[in-house]
Structure 1
Amino acid sequence: MNNKVITFGEVMLRLATPEYKRFSQSNSFVATFGGGEVNVSVSLANFGIPTAYVTRLPNNDIGKSCKEKLNEFGIDTSHIVFGGERLGIYYLETGAVARGSKVVYDRENSVFTSLEKGMINWDEVFKDACWFHWTGITPAISPGATRVLEEALEKANEKGITVSCDVNYRSKLWKEGIKAEEVMPRLIAKTNVLIGNEFDAEKVLGIRNKLPVGVEYSKFTFELIAKQLMQKYPRLEKVITTRRGTISANHNSWVGILFNGEKVFESPTYQMTHIVDRVGGGDALMAGLIYGFLNWPNNDQKTICFAVAASFLKHTISGDGNDVCIEEVKQLVKGDLAGKIDW
């Protein structure tokens, strides 16, 4: 039975300052592993969905430790390839109130950047797969990573596997001379489910925003852009976005919108009044979407509500991964926001 979800991308060592300290104040860092695609696998494994993560890790104790940690979540790591010596790193300073968070990347010349076609046996990877997930971070990392991703997308399309992407545009990652707007369109053309917003559509995906000057993003503007995306990229079946209202670094509003080619579906708007860690919120949303599409294929309203609730809960969890179970998400969907002690 083909029921496994495959994710592909770079995993990094995350070094975060504790207790909202600034880089200049901290004498220590909290070390965990994270990355957009592996975060999706962590969530899906917690939801009971068979999932495999594909990446390249250094052939040293750090790489082996990362693999062991992923195995603890129940993620299939049998397709991870080893080579080289350096795992990418990112440093996180968590903001508070009016001070925003900061991220510093240290991922130049990581083992993932030197990936090349032929290193991964995609026929073997996709043997039991029904879904393949990637993000726009991977093609920003290196031309080699882009070629391997294209190799995977072609094989997934050939096998009829559903493909999802979170555009996840990060201007700091795209190297000079490699433009997202030149690379991403040909990759999105092989994709079925997309997370992105009006900015992503115009900046990266070649959609010219014809909205009147001064018009704020809304459910209406998203539907207009989503329709244009589906016309330009015929494989697209679902387009999803989120709206984050920022009151402060610790207090955001959060809502999700889904367009299926015919109708727009919107989740309730949540007020996240005490954010613990917002990193990985979009990945938790993607995992919730995949879970919903697999379990409720004819109920997009239920899916977007579940996905946004899962993402809401991620904002209460420290670290990249969304370490919550299905029951917790479903309880939140029912409207239980009290956070009572589970006696």
Structure 2
Amino acid sequence: MMQNLRFNITKDDLSRFSGKGPVFVTFGETLIRDTPADFQRLERTANVHISLAGSELTVATLLARFGIPSAYITRVPDNPYGWLVRDTARSHGIDTRYFVWANKAEPIGRLLYEIGRTPRKSVGWYQRMFSAASKMGAGMVNWQEALRDCELFHTSGITFGLAYHSKYEQNYLLEAFYEAMNFKPEHCWVGIDFNYRATLWTPEQCREVMTPLIRDHVDILITTIEDMAAVYGFGCGQYSPEQIDKGEMGDITDNDLRSLASHLGDYFKAKIVAITIRYPDSFEENRWESAVMNEQGYFFRSPAVKSITLLDRLGGGDTWNGGFYYGLLTAGFNVEGLQKGLLVGDAATRIKQTLMFDLPVVTKTEVQDLLKADVEGGGKRVSR
């Protein structure tokens, strides 16, 4: 195992990306998120904070803020909410030229979200049926141009569940994905966050779509132990799917994670498997770690499980994805990139989850300082 934990990401040379189109491209749906501003229940509040939520935009936000030329593709109504998505993405440096504009009367997806406090759970309600983004299909995006310089193309399983949620007869976004694959450069890697949502589709429906999609097109699979147990009935080393589902796992060993990652790599024919692990000690205090493994058997796990005092956990996994991809895009799709990506992802998500709302308004300097503190200690004083 490599022991160089001192990556200086603030001095990464991004000059090789100069003059190129987006080298990271992602597509999916962005939601308008309503969160009570006065800590009331949603049914009682008179004031809500409006923010943006959604897996793919969150990943693109971190990468663009870290200097990676990034594009986000979606379909939004030509009205103030659609403009909000475009303008927010642009404010973080994301290329939005491939947005597909729907009629202003089409709905945009929404997430109604209450942040809980122990013992009350955080709860979210989706309003995504018939959304503009769920109808982004083949023939709407110039994929040849959008992917011309792409080195990493990403999406999530949530995206393909939207058609089942709306009970469409066709899966528009799945058709758009396969169209994109026809124009993908030979050197471009494809990554997916499995991201199972039971409110969108059943395990059977999910397997029917995701299994061939991943096997035929995906190089990098990012997932959780819980999703693989729920959808495929896969255990994790010594722990059965039933124990995982009931939250009865004890200490997770390296061998447990190696066993699951190796099985997923073989089953899905993925070159890289990444597993993110959240330990929810309470609704205010979580612990976090991750593990990665490539097809050659190289395995790297977080040096330590780290505590997070949560302000808002949404977007945490997606922020990890962005940090992981940053390591791959700057250090290479190799052993160094895997290690760097895991460490940057861990640090970025720990910072993000202390911030309100989904998007990671995180800087490279903050991540670098946290990586340094993890190795050298300290870092608890006010920065001024």
TM normalised by structure 1 equals 0.92
Q: Which residue number corresponds to residue 290 of structure 2?
A: 256
Q: Is 2:90 the counterpart of 1:71? A: yes
Counterpart secondary structure, 1:334: helix
Corresponding residue for 1:326? Answer: 364
Equivalent in 181, 198, 203 of residue 225 of structure 2: 198
Separation (CA, whole Å) in 2 of partners of 1:150 and 1:206 = 27
State the one-letter code of the partner of 1:254.
Answer: W
Q: Displacement of 1:196 after TM fit?
A: 1.0
Cα distance in structure 2, aligned partners of 1:58 and 1:107: 13
Aligned to 1:122: 143
Does the 8 Å contact 2:237/2:255 carry over to 1?
Answer: no
Q: Runs of 5+ in structure 2 lacking a partner?
A: 1-19, 164-170, 244-248
Q: Following TM superposition, by how much is the alpha carbon of 1:206 offset from its aligned partner in structure 2, in angstroms? A: 7.5
Is this contact kept in 1: 2:324–2:340, CA < 8 A?
no
Structure 1 residues 265, 278: closer, same or farther in 2, change over 3 A? same
Shift of 1:221: 2.0
Contact 2:60 2:70 in 1 (8 A): yes
2:194 & 2:117 partners in 1: Cα distance? 27
**Between Structure 1 and Structure 2, how many residues are aligned?**
339
Aligned to 1:14: 33
The 8 Å contact of residues 38 and 47 in structure 2, kept in 1 or not, is answered as: no
Larger mean Cα displacement after TM superposition, 198-207 or 96-105: 198-207
Q: Distance in 2 between matches of 1:305 and 1:218?
A: 19
Match 1:96 to one of 105, 109, 117: 117
- Aligned-pair RMSD on alpha carbons? 2.2
- The verdict on how the C-alpha distance between 1:307 and 1:212 changes in structure 2, with shifts beyond 3 A counting, is closer
Conserved in 1, the CA contact under 8 Å of 2:38 and 2:45?
no
2:261 counterpart of 1:226: yes
Aligned twin of 1:179: 205
2:315 aligns with one of 268, 280, 304: 280
Q: 2:48 aligns with which of 21, 25, 29?
A: 29
Deviation at 1:328, TM superposition (A): 0.5
Counterpart Cα distance in 1 of 2:146 and 2:110: 26
Structure-2 separation of matches of 1:222 and 1:43: 27
Whole-angstrom distance in 2 between the partners of 1:212 and 1:321: 34
Deviations 1:227-269 (A, max 9, x none): 12222232x2211112211111010111111112313211121
Q: Is the CA contact 1:201–1:225 (under 8 Å) kept in the aligned structure 2?
A: no
Shift of 1:100: 1.5
For 1:145-176, what per-residue CA distance to the aligned partner results, in whole angstroms no more than 9, with x for missing partners? Answer: 121122223433x5331111111111001169
The alpha-carbon distance between structure 1 residues 212 and 137, as it changes in their structure 2 partners (threshold 3 A), is: closer
Are the structure 2 counterparts of residues 24 and 166 from structure 1 closer, same or farther at C-alpha, using a change threshold of 3 Å?
Answer: same
Shift of 1:210: 7.6
- Alpha-carbon distance, 1:30 to partner: 0.2
1:146 alignment partner, one of 171, 174, 188: 174
CA contact (8 A) 2:236 2:259 kept: no
Indicate how the Cα distance of structure 1 residues 271 and 182 shifts in structure 2: closer, same or farther if over 3 A, else same.
same
Distance verdict in 2 for CA 1:218–1:259, change over 3 Å: same
Provide the C-alpha distance between the structure 1 equivalents of 2:83 and 2:21, rounded to a whole number of angstroms.
Answer: 28
| Shift of residue 35, structure 1, vs aligned partner | 0.6
The equivalent position to 2:341 in structure 1, one of 285, 288, 303, is 303
Identity among equivalent positions (%) equals 29
More displaced stretch, 294-303 vs 316-325: 294-303
CA offset at residue 220 of structure 1? 2.0
The secondary structure found in structure 1 opposite 2:151 is strand
Counterpart secondary structure, 2:360: coil
Quick check: 2:60–2:71 contact (8 Å CA) kept in 1?
A: yes
| C-alpha contact 2:111 2:126 (8 A) present in aligned 1 | yes
Instruction: Go from structure 1 to structure 2 and tell me whether the alpha carbon gap of 1:207 and 1:188 turns closer, same or farther (over 3 Å shift).
Output: farther
The alpha-carbon distance between structure 1 residues 328 and 25, as it changes in their structure 2 partners (threshold 3 A), is: same
